[in-house]
Amino acid sequence: MRPLSLLLAAVLGSLPGVAGAPYGGVRAPRLLSQTGLYAAPGRLDPRNRAYSPQYPLWSDGAAKARWVRLPDGAAIEAGDEDAWTFPVGTKFWKEFQFHGRKVETRLLWHARPGVWIFASYAWNAAGTDATLVPEEGLPDAAEIAPGLRHTIPGVADCRTCHENGRTEVLGFTALQLSTDRDPGAIHGEPPRPGLLTLEDLVKEGRLRHARADLLARPPRIRAGDPETRALLGYFAANCGACHRMDHPLDGLDLDFRPTGRTPGEPGLASTVNRPSQYTLPGEAPGTTLRIRPGDPDHSAVYSRMASRRPLSQMPPLGSALADREALDRLRAWIARAPAR
Amino acid sequence: MTPLTFRTALLAGLSFGIASAAAPDAQIRRGAYLTRIMGCADCHMPLKMGPKGPEPDLARGLSGHPEALVMPAAPEPKGPWLWSGAATNTAFAGPWGVSYAANLTPDDETGLGRWTEAQFLQIVHTGRHLGKGRTILPPMPIQNLQATREEDLKAIFAYLRSQPAVRNHVPTATEPAASH
């Protein structure tokens, strides 16, 4: 392309912008409208498919919309059900709204072999487009509650959760898209026409090497009762990216990955009546339990989920507001659990 | 390595000691130099009282706050004297709570023995405990490390890994009492 053509193309917006540091030789486009999410201003590209994980991540109560774009004719390597491998060119977008206003949209883009681009875009006040935020993120992006502001996370924080396991993609998994959807999932969105499901992916030939009975025996968390299932799903989505035994934090044997295959999921085995490295106020070091059946106020998991103090809040990033509904349900579940 | 060797190495301006060397010697020497000029020992090697006043406790290496030194409740952080520190210069109290200098020797259980180079880089780049948790607390100048070239960070890690392992379980940071 000749220099004049390059200039014209850039002015017309058909080339990515140059904001942001390159990663793996790739730069994220400067504007959301340049990422391929929209076919025209305000009109989604129909090749981008909406989906909704059955166990959503808590993000300060944001209303979210998500889309995926798989390259034409390409398939996901699905032989490892816990870690799908996505073809180069795959893009995911997630839009966040607070109080009915679009605040940010995040892009996760498999740009080159081994190179995933993480980019966040902040919407302008008119809601016409969104601009790539600095690599370190953007604090005070919107008010989420009186005195509390939403922070658009920096790239390092994105990578903290997304690059912790065997796949960079967290909310688009066999379990999250399962046709055996959990009706009790905390903040779960009921299935509706137009949302991409596991069945769609199978029927469209988008999953390679998936087990033959994936639809006959769709992934499901194995739990003894519906509320335990819902809470384990919540833990998986909100805690399992970091707390996982296939990639453990140093010295911490906490595991929130659901296996769907192991009776008594690791999320229970590694928490209930298990000692915590964290010491609750007023307790002697070494005596705090992660989950103390019958006693939520003396359960570190509950206490840290309720905290938004910097040293103790869990998750430690991505949220400034504790999840009241999840806390209420966890509290009731712990209170009902028989003490040993 | 004996304390005398630590001292000799320190006085020679090289390092606090090199026990084993899976990494190239030049990288470890570079890391030792960087560790020294960046002042890592200022907090991560405890001070002890000597005949001329506080001096580095070389026998402890970069093992952080001594586990046997249980600190009493910290003074309330009220300005203009907003923060305070232990005589060892390994424990610090302020509006953030109480923080302790970590064990940077390669002990598997209490130090960085099980860390990989990638994890060390992640800790630096994210500025978060273990690369994923809470933010790293004052007075750790993590921003200085974040401005350091990656090859130098790798050299620092290679040097830290080459020290003798010192078993010393550093307490976890605590929140300000008023925050509960």
What is the distance between the alpha carbons of residues A115 and A232, in angstroms, rounded to a whole number? 31
Q: For A253-275, how does the pLDDT look when each residue is reduced to its tens digit (9 = 90+)? A: 889 987 766 656 788 989 999 99
Q: Do B133 and A164 touch (CB under 8 A)?
A: no
The answer to whether B71 faces chain A, any CB pair under 8 Å, is no
| pLDDT 10s digits, A191-211 | 899 999 999 999 999 999 999
pLDDT recorded at residue A246: 80
| pTM for this predicted structure | 0.85
Cβ neighbours, 10 Å, residue A75: 18
What are the residue boundaries of the structural domains of chain A, listed by start?
16-208, 226-336
Per CB-CB distance under 8 Å, the chain B contacts of A156 are 125-127
User: In this structure, how many other beta carbons lie within 10 angstroms of the beta carbon of residue A223?
Assistant: 20
A contacts of B145 (beta carbons < 8 Å) = none
| Dihedral angle of Cα A304, A306, A308, A314, to the nearest 10 degrees | 40
A vs B: CB pairs below 8 A:
47
Radius of gyration of chain B measured on its C-alpha atoms: 16
Tell me whether residues B135 and A310 touch, CB distance under 8 A: yes
In this complex, is the C-beta atom of A164 within 8 Å of any C-beta atom belonging to chain B?
A: yes
Give dist(CA B25, CA A1) in Å, integer: 49
Q: Do A157 and B126 touch (CB under 8 A)?
A: yes
The residues that bridge with B92 in the sheet, in sequence order, are: B85, B99
B127 touches chain A (CB under 8 A): yes
**Residue A266 tokens, joined:** 């690791």
Its ipTM equals 0.74
Contact A199, A219 (CB under 8 A): no
- Is any Cβ of chain A less than 8 angstroms from the Cβ of B132? yes
Residue of A242, A277, A310 with shortest CB distance to B134: A310
Residues of chain A with pLDDT under 70: 1-20, 260-264, 340
Tens of pLDDT, residues B25-73: 999 999 999 999 999 999 999 999 999 999 999 999 999 999 999 999 9
